[in-house]
Amino acid sequence: MGSDDTSSTEQIVLAVTRAIVEHRLEPGTKLVEQSLGDRFGVSRTIVRQALFRLSELKLVKLEPARGAFVAAPSMQEAREVFAVRRMVEGQMLRELVQRIRPADIKQLKAHIAEERDAVTRIDVPTRTKLLFDFHVKMAQVLGNQVLVDLMQELVSRCSLISLMYQSADDAETSNAEHVDILSAIEAKDADLAVKLLNEHLDTVEKQLTEHRRTAHARAAR
């Protein structure tokens, strides 16, 4: 596959991922190859490559003879994703406490201020993306691209999970908890930072219910 093909494939992967994270594509939505090809001006072969990559990221499910659909994670998968986030992000925060610079703190504070603004404006797509991106931004500070890619995959899957199972809009609480986590990092208190992170992930996970939310409930977010 040539570099242009790779670029086109990644462009589609990023566009679909963003649409999922911003809750513009709901679980179970069919992704039509021809429509994607027309939108991005690429062949269906390129579209198939992008859909295959999205299936590797667990964001899309490929069904023989039926096509590609936005994934609909099970509750068990949701629990497993949160368990992995606790393991990965806990160690990530300990590294951050040791290595973070004042400029990094300033950048993360600016991100949190953008979250707050989006929450205040009730801008659902923007606030959703920003709240998940905070965790990716922390990985970027460490400069480890493998970690950044892993965090991007995990938060994207969490976005799908929250769209399906989150019973209440708790964006304001998430923003406040991000403030507390960053304060602990700035204070070089690794134990407190990890404790607050685990409580933050617990809060999000406890918002999940055993029943898939209705379209009406999702529309009311």
- Sign of the alpha-carbon torsion through 20, 24, 28, 34: negative
Q: What percent of the chain has pLDDT over 90?
A: 57
Question: 167-219: per-residue pLDDT in tens?
Answer: 546 788 889 999 999 999 999 999 999 999 999 998 888 876 555 554 434 44
Task: Tell me which residue of 120, 116, 90, 98 sits closest to 181, measured CA to CA.
Answer: 90
Average pLDDT, the chain: 87
Strand pairing category for 67-70 and 60-63? antiparallel
pTM score, two decimals? 0.77
Task: Tell me which residue of 112, 87, 107 sits closest to 177, measured CA to CA.
Answer: 112
Question: 50-91: per-residue pLDDT in tens?
Answer: 999 999 888 999 999 899 999 988 888 888 999 999 999 999
Identify the pLDDT of residue 156. 85
CB atoms within 10 A of CB 104: 18
Dist. CA 73–CA 164, nearest whole Å: 8
Q: Tell me the HSE value of 49 on the side-chain side, using a 13 A CA sphere.
A: 16
Identify the pLDDT of residue 4. 65
Q: What is the rounded (10 degree) CA torsion for 130, 136, 138, 144?
A: -160
Distances (CA, A) of 203 to 19, 152, 158, 179, 182: 24, 20, 13, 15, 17
